[in-house]
Every structure is written in C-alpha cells, then in structure tokens.
Amino acid sequence: MRTICLYFEIHQIIHLKRYRFFDIGTNHYYYDDYANETSINEVAERSYIPALNTLIGMVKDSGGAFKVALSISGVALEQLEIHAPAVIDLLHQLNDTGCCEFLAEPYSHGLSSLANEDCFKEEVMRQSAKMKQMFGKAPKVFRNSSLIYNDEIGAMVASMGFKGMLTEGAKHVLGWKSPHYVYHCNMNPNLKLLLRDFKLSDDISLRFSNSEWNEYPLFADKYISWIDAFPQEEQVINIFMELCSLGMSQPLSSNILEFLKALPACAKEKGITFSTPTEIVTKLKSVSQLDVPYPMSWVDEERDTSCWLGNVMQREAFNKLYSVAERVHICDDRRIKQDWDYLQASNNFRFMTTKNSGVGLNRGIYESPYDAFTNYMNILGDFIKRVDSLYPVDIDNEELNALLTTIKNQGDEIEELHKELEKAQKKLEKEKAAEKKKEPKDTSKPAAKSTAKKVTAKKPAAKSAK
C-alpha cells in the first residue's frame, strides 16, 4: 500500500547584532534581543500556531489515520520556551495524539557534521535528550541540518544507534532511480534512508500561491492524483518542508491550510495512507544502497553545500570557528557553550553567500555578503579570545589530547557508577518488597482502637445519669 511521509522542520534564526572591531575584548554579548523576540513572535502568530492547530485537527478528524513528523532544533526550542510558550503547548497537544513523531537533529542547526565528529555527535545526543525530556520518547530517526548527507555522515549517524535518516532525493545522486523507495547507507546497511521528493515538496512550500505557475490553483484532489499516478511499486512518497512555509512562504490568505486539511480525505479515497518515518523504516526493506561521496542538501538548484561553503569568506569563517571545536568540547562554561550553539547555526554562513540562487535571500542587518563576513568575524574574534583564556593556545596537541582522554575516561567511570547505583537501588527495593511480604500482620492496634471507642462511648451515658 502506498504511503505518504509528511515531515516539517522548525528552526529559528538567532539574529546577531552589529559588532564592531573595537568591541572585541570588551563586549561579550552578540545578539539582537529585540529582533529575536519580534521575529519568533511573528512566525509563531502567522505560521506555527495556525499550522499546528491545523495538524492537530487533521489527526482528530481522520480518527488517527493522519500522521506527521517534526524536528525542532535546540536553539529554536530555547527561543520558543522564552518568547512563544503557546507553540510549546501545541506541540505537546500534537504529541498527545500519538500520531506525531519527533526526530533528532543537531542542536545548533549547524554544519558540525562536515567539520568535527565529536562535536556533531555531542549536539545530536543533546538535542535527542531534549526531545525525550519534552515529549517522552527518544528519537529513532535522524535528520541533519538542511538534510545534509553523505556516506560518512550516514556512518556516523548509524553509529549513534539511529535506524533511519531523512535526506534529499537529489537528481545528481539518484540519476535514473526514484526517491519513492527505501534505500540504505552504503557504509552501514542498518541505516535506512528516506529521500525527499523535491518536486512535490516544493509544489507546496514554494509554488502553491504563485499565480503564474502552470498548475495554479492547486487543489488537494489534483495533488493526490499525481501521487496515485506513480507506478504501484513506488510505495513511499516523502514530502519534507519547513513548517514556516505554511503561513510565511505561503500566506494563510492563499488557503494553504485548507489545502492541507483536505489531503487525508482525498488520500483515503485513493487508498493512500500516512506514516511516520519510524513506521516506514521498520516495515519496509531497503531496495538498494545509496552512494553519496560528496555532501548533498535540500538547498538551491545544486542541492549541495555551496550556499554555506561556496566562497573563500565562508570557508575562512567555517575553518576559524571549528579550529576551537576541541577546546569548546571540553569546556564547561555555560555562556561559552550557548554562544557556540548560536555561532554554529548555518544561517550565519548563508548570509555570506555570493551565489545568485534565483531565490530572494533576506540578509537581515547586512548590506552585502562582505558585511556579513566582517560582522561575524569580529564576533568570532571575541569568542575565540574567551576560549583561549580558558584553554590557552600554547597548550600543545598532546596535552590537549591527554586532557580530552582524561575527561572521557572520567565520564565513562561516572556513567558506570550511575549504572551500578541504579542496580543497587533496584536490588534494595526488591529486598524491601520481599521483607514486607514476609512480615506478619499486627492485630494488636485495631483491638486497642476498639477498646478506646468503648471507653469514650461510656462517658456521655455517665453525664446523662447525673
């Protein structure tokens, strides 16, 4: 039976403020709080809140037949918790339906998978822990920032225990193959891959309200008929996009939510179901391995990483940032860790692009890519100074590696001690429970109570006799 896997991303840009060269060493706060609060409230009101209410309604109206997947970056969750708690409440309501799966992704929505394996794994596991804490389940399927994937990244993700991963169905990788099958990583067949159908996804997220598009206006029955027309053996249709497409990229006045609401009923008429990523990777077998030697993504026509690392400025900023990755990794300073998450976010490098992608790029406060590069490098200069003050650059690699090894060993020992403590507590609880079962019942106390009742009952009678 053919099934649709519908997935939405939630990520929020952390806006940097104007930071001058002379601020380096004196001002360690890098963010435009007003822009951050304003932008997330705007997205919440115009997109997240109406879209999530719609998804909740679709689950209820379909009797649980409609299913959806979401992934939320850690930095977006932080902003939502501070500025838009109503969105968090709706996410919990959607989770309570049992028809939504929350996926793992890098906490920062950054590019660490292309730079540093330890840094990448740490932030993925941190975001996964946040998902389990908030929604009660540890994610089993992973999606990288902007669906970035290659063979080595797949191997890293598989080594962390994930069963599946979402990525792009890029033409230059698939060739004649269809994205409507389950594939697997060529370096670890245990990791199954779900590939985005970029045409069907972009029809909703990019073209839906475009009156010059030859398929405009798009109705749900037409859209489902396109899916129904695929060959019967093509069973999995992966439609992935940003949640802010519903309300921001495609305004609510375009009836985008009404279109979405109609999809489950139209799909049911054609015998098409909805499934979560975990359901698909559990039920369906892979048809073939996917060979991806170079990173691909869902961005721009090239579907690669050139929008972040395509010019000299971007690569210089990227290399400079990750030159301190090992030192930040062993750091326990809360402010350093938070700044590290925010500075890793991929949009910082996207603002520096000199590509003409054909899609309008909002550079925020920046007048040009060179302006974005200068501002970011000023901030990075101050950040690196702070890291160096904790772990000076004159510590050679051997000393740093020894320190990292010591910290790792200590962490392993602490984990083992926690496990032993849990076992001891469980054993103690069992022993106490067994002792309670063996203890004979004490019948003396109830007797004493009944005697007391008799004594107190006599007193009123004596008073009435007087």
End position of a domain, from candidates 342, 375, 397: 397
Q: Are residues 227 and 368 both part of a single domain?
A: no
End position of a domain, from candidates 309, 328, 362: 309
pLDDT at 154: 98
Q: Are residues 285 and 191 both part of a single domain?
A: yes
End position of a domain, from candidates 341, 372, 397: 397
Per-block mean pLDDT, blocks of 10 residues, the chain (466 long): 96 94 95 95 97 98 97 96 96 98 97 96 96 95 98 97 97 96 97 98 96 96 97 96 96 97 97 98 97 96 94 97 93 94 96 78 86 97 94 63 61 70 77 72 48 43 41
Q: Are residues 213 and 89 both part of a single domain?
A: yes
Q: Are residues 150 and 13 both part of a single domain?
A: yes
pLDDT at 1: 81
The separation between CA 332 and the C-alpha centre of its own chain, rounded to angstroms, equals: 23
Residue of 141, 73, 132 lying closest to 103 (CA atoms) = 141
* Full domain range(s) for residue 289: 3-309
Residue of 289, 77, 97 lying closest to 177 (CA atoms) = 289
CB 71 within 8 A of CB 10: yes
- Cα separation, 143 vs 247, in Å, equals 23
Q: Are residues 95 and 230 both part of a single domain?
A: yes
Q: What is the Cα Rg of the chain in Å?
A: 28
Q: Are residues 204 and 227 both part of a single domain?
A: yes
Q: Are residues 301 and 320 both part of a single domain?
A: no
Query: Is 106 within the bounds of a domain?
Result: yes
Q: Are residues 214 and 357 both part of a single domain?
A: no
pLDDT at 394: 61
68: left (phi over 0), alpha (psi -120 to 50) or beta: beta
144: CATH: 3.20.110.20
CA 417-423-427 angle, 5° bins:
145
Q: Are residues 103 and 229 both part of a single domain?
A: yes
Q: Are residues 361 and 240 both part of a single domain?
A: no
Q: Are residues 95 and 130 both part of a single domain?
A: yes
The DSSP result for 293-362, as a single string, is -S-B-SSTTTTSSHHHHSSHHHHHHHHHHHTTHHHHHT---HHHHHHHHHHHBTHHHHTT-----SS---
Give 129's Cβ-side CA count (13 Å radius): 6
Query: Is 17 within the bounds of a domain?
Result: yes
How many domains are contained in the chain?
2
